[in-house]
Every structure is written in structure tokens, then in C-alpha cells.
Amino acid sequence: MTNKVTVLGSLNVDTTMRVKRMPLPGETLQAENKSSAAGGKGANQAVAAARAGAETSFIGKVGKDSSGQFMIESLQDDNIDTTCIATDETVGTGSAFILLDEEGQNSILVYGGSNQQVKKEEVVAAEDKIKNADFLIAQFETPQAAAVEAFKIAKANGVFTILNPAPAAEIDPELLKLSDIIVPNETESATLTGIEVTDEASMVANADKFKEMGVENLIITVGSKGAFYSTKAGHDFVPAFKVKAVDTTAAGDTFLGSLSSQLKPDLSNIAEALTFAQRASSIAVQRLGAMPSIPTYEEIVEANK
């Protein structure tokens, strides 16, 4: 059965500058290459879900500019339903500027633009897209008030809510209570719980802390090492696949989107879904760019052979 996934999130045009190494404070370096592509955490996650086989819809906002039209068309190229993407008449489309070094590590500056203008009423207007989904995903590149509204609609209609608290920020306690699962990386998890992620015991302590905050289920992504999960049924660590990374820009988004395409709302197949997501992410980091690097279902399955 095909999962139906709705993503509330950001739409950014990414400009990537390739450099030998990161500049020091006050230092000017020559960029070796410059390229632009569709991106934004929300858009990347939606594309990852769609390419991995999910029926995907998007809730977000763009500016009244060529970048906004480019973003909508980019999602439509992956058969994502864009009818709930609003247009802001006064604020431009979001953008991100990515420095990428020879080791595949990145530093990113994000301009929120119209992403920061997503309002509750636009979420309410997308109620049908939320009600008819199996999973609703939100991150922190759009306002938390919009996510709270969306998650309320989801919970009232039995839709499983996935919160990706990235970039890390102080979380509205109400949003945590409305989240069925939270998916931070190890840095974000430590920022939110105050417990550094160093080993399995500290991951379990993070899970316990999130339960105190109102979230029963947790996945912590630990870069090239893998992912830890904790549910009512227990906890475990799923190792990542060893590959040579050339660009880690959309690794986490690829992981989350492809996870949502395979996961069952009762979490009964979480280990298998995580393995699938890890494989998808391992393909993405071997390619350049955010959205262009995200693999299809066929590529993920083929890599498993």
C-alpha cells in the first residue's frame, strides 16, 4: 500500500559554492564552482518521499517571483501536489547559500523569506491534504505556530505526526505533545534535552527526556554512524552504510522523506524502514546538490542487491 505523506515546510532556492576549505574569519577565498538548485528542508523531504514512492502533498509559501515559480515547478516535476503552496505578495522566496568543501562538509546560511510568512489560515485551508495523509511532517524553517495548527488537525483525524526539529530552536511545548515521533540529529537532540549524545545510554536518556516532554517515540540520526530509535516496543541502533561522501547537504532530509514513504503508522516496521532510509541517504551523499542527489525507489532497491 502506498503511503500518503503531507509535508508542511520550507521552499528555498539553494546556491552552492564549492571551496577547497572553509574560510577563516576575515578571509577571502576563491570559489571553484557555483550552482543553483531547488532546496529547502521541507521541499527536500517531500521530494525524497515522492521519489521513494509516497503520494506526496506540500503546504508552504513562495514569493511572487521567478524563484517561487521555479520551486513549484520543481516539486511538480516529482508529481508532488502543490495546490496548497500559497504566494506572498510582499516577501520573496526563501534562499540558502551553501559552502561545500573538498571533504563533503558544508556550512549553510538560510534566508527564510516567504517561508517565515506561513500563517495558520493557510494551514486550515490545507485541511483536506492533512486529513487524507498517513503522515504529516514539519520542520523549523516555517513558523511553529503553523506546525501546531497542522498537527492539531492531524491528531484530530488520526494522522501520524513527524517533527524534525531542524534547525534546532526552542520548541513550543504544545507542539511536542502533538508529535507522535521526533527526529533530530545528535546535536539537535542534545540542544533540546540538555543531554549530550555520546553512546547508547545517553541516547536512551534523550528518549526518556523527550517522553517527559510529551513525545513517546524518537529517532536520533548520528551522521555516518547510523540512527538510534526508541518506541514503546523498545530501542535499537541501525548502522549506516559505509560510503565516500562528496556532499552531505540533503542527507538528513533524504533520510526523513524516504523513511516516511516506508514506515507503518504503528511503527511495527521501524527497523526495516530505517534501513531503507539509511540506504537512500547513503546514495544522496555520494552525489552533488540537495534535491538533485535524492534517489528514486528503484535506485534504493537496486543498491540493496
List residues bridging with 292 in a β-sheet. none
Binding-site residues, in ranges, read: 12-14, 40-44, 141, 185, 221-226, 247, 249, 252-253, 284, 287, 289, 293
d(CA 57, CA 80): 5
Binding-site residues for K(+), in ranges, read: 247, 249, 284, 287, 289, 293
Binding-site residues for substrate, in ranges, read: 12-14, 40-44, 141, 253
25-51 confidence digits (pLDDT tens):
999 999 999 988 899 999 999 999 999
Intervals of the chain under pLDDT 70: none
Please, what's the b/e burial string for 1-33 (b: 16 or more CB within 10 A of its CB; e: otherwise)? Answer: eebbbbbbbbbbbbebebbeeeeeeeeeeeeee
What does the pLDDT read at residue 103? 86
Check if 199 is active-site: no
What does the pLDDT read at residue 104? 82
| Domains annotated on the chain, with CATH | 4-303 (3.40.1190.20)
What does the pLDDT read at residue 289? 80
Closest CA to 135 of 40, 233, 54: 54
What does the pLDDT read at residue 106? 87
d(CA 67, CA 42): 16
What does the pLDDT read at residue 247? 83
189-248 confidence digits (pLDDT tens):
999 999 999 999 999 999 999 999 999 999 999 988 999 999 999 999 999 999 998 888
Q: Which residue in the list 78, 81, 88, 253 is annotated as catalytic?
A: 253
H or E stretch covering 5: strand 4-8
Is residue 232 within 8 A of residue 226, CB to CB? The reply is no
Is residue 305 within 8 A of residue 290, CB to CB? The reply is no
Burial grade of 241 (CB within 10 A; 0-12, 13-18, 19 or more):
middle
Burial grade of 84 (CB within 10 A; 0-12, 13-18, 19 or more):
buried
Burial grade of 85 (CB within 10 A; 0-12, 13-18, 19 or more):
buried
